[in-house]
Every structure is written in structure tokens, then in C-alpha cells.
């Protein structure tokens, strides 16, 4: 090819193709973020005791002592599980005097539905 000639056989992507590629990359990044959030959520309930807590709280708000008794575990052990679930956005506490009552968040409610469906 002579120094004064230009190449015309190289195709540059069209603006539409570039936009589609950018959209695809953004969708891929969003899918990865959703998968990462789901992975973290599942790690928070990857324990049989925590799944039992979800099922117990699906019936309504419970006091930590009630949960301890129902699970036949010490209050500190149950409180530890509840703290992990609270940080995961699965349960929310309500303080009344010296007592903590726990209930499920919207995420916890959805999780309870999934767990119940799996056990049916």
C-alpha cells in the first residue's frame, strides 16, 4: 500500500452497535451485582438455626427469649444468629424496655415464602 493511500476495508462499529455493546455491558454488571447481593443474603441464612428463625418469625414477631426456648438454644447463641440476620437485612429488632422483639423485613418475608415452598 502506498504512503498516500488510505485503508477503506477496515470497518468501524456503527453508533448503534456501540450503544448495544454498552447496554450489554451495563446489563452484565447489573446482573453480577444482583447475583452478589443474592449470594450475601444466602450466606446469612446458610445455617439451619437461622432458617428455623425465619420460619418462626414468619408467623409473627417474637421475643428473643421465646425464640431461644423454641429453638432449645441459649439466648446468646440466638442473639448471635439474629445479629447476623439483622446485618443481612432479614430481620429488624424492636426494643421494648429491656426486651428485644424481632420480625422479618420484606426481604425476610420473601425468603420465608421460598423456604416454606421448599419444605412443602
Question: Would you give per-residue pLDDT tens digits along the chain (120 residues)?
Answer: 555 555 556 678 888 877 778 888 888 889 999 898 888 888 888 899 999 999 999 999 999 999 999 999 999 999 999 999 999 899 999 999 988 999 999 999 999 998 889 888
**42 found inside a domain:** no
**69 found inside a domain:** yes
Q: Residues 47, 53, 59, 60: what is their CA dihedral angle, to the nearest 10 degrees?
A: -140
**64 found inside a domain:** yes
Domain that holds residue 76: 47-119
Contact 93, 100 (CB under 8 A): yes
pTM beyond cutoff 0.85 = no
**34 found inside a domain:** no
| Count of domains forming the chain | 1
**36 found inside a domain:** no
E strand map for the chain: 62-63, 91-96, 99-104
Contact 44, 85 (CB under 8 A): yes
Q: What is the CATH number of the domain that holds 105?
A: 1.10.10.10
CA distance 19 to 65: 57
Amino acid at each position: 500500500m502506498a504512503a498516500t493511500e488510505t485503508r477503506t476495508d477496515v470497518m468501524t462499529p456503527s453508533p448503534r452497535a456501540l450503544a448495544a455493546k454498552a447496554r450489554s455491558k451495563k446489563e452484565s454488571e447489573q446482573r453480577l451485582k444482583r447475583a452478589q447481593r443474592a449470594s450475601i443474603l444466602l450466606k446469612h441464612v446458610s445455617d439451619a438455626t437461622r432458617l428455623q428463625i425465619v420460619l418462626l418469625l414468619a408467623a409473627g414477631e417474637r421475643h428473643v427469649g421465646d425464640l431461644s426456648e423454641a429453638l432449645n438454644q441459649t439466648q446468646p447463641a440466638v442473639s448471635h444468629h439474629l445479629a447476623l440476620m439483622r446485618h443481612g437485612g432479614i430481620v429488624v429488632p424492636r426494643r421494648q424496655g429491656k426486651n428485644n422483639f424481632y420480625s422479618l423485613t420484606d426481604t425476610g418475608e420473601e425468603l420465608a415464602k421460598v423456604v416454606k415452598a421448599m419444605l412443602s
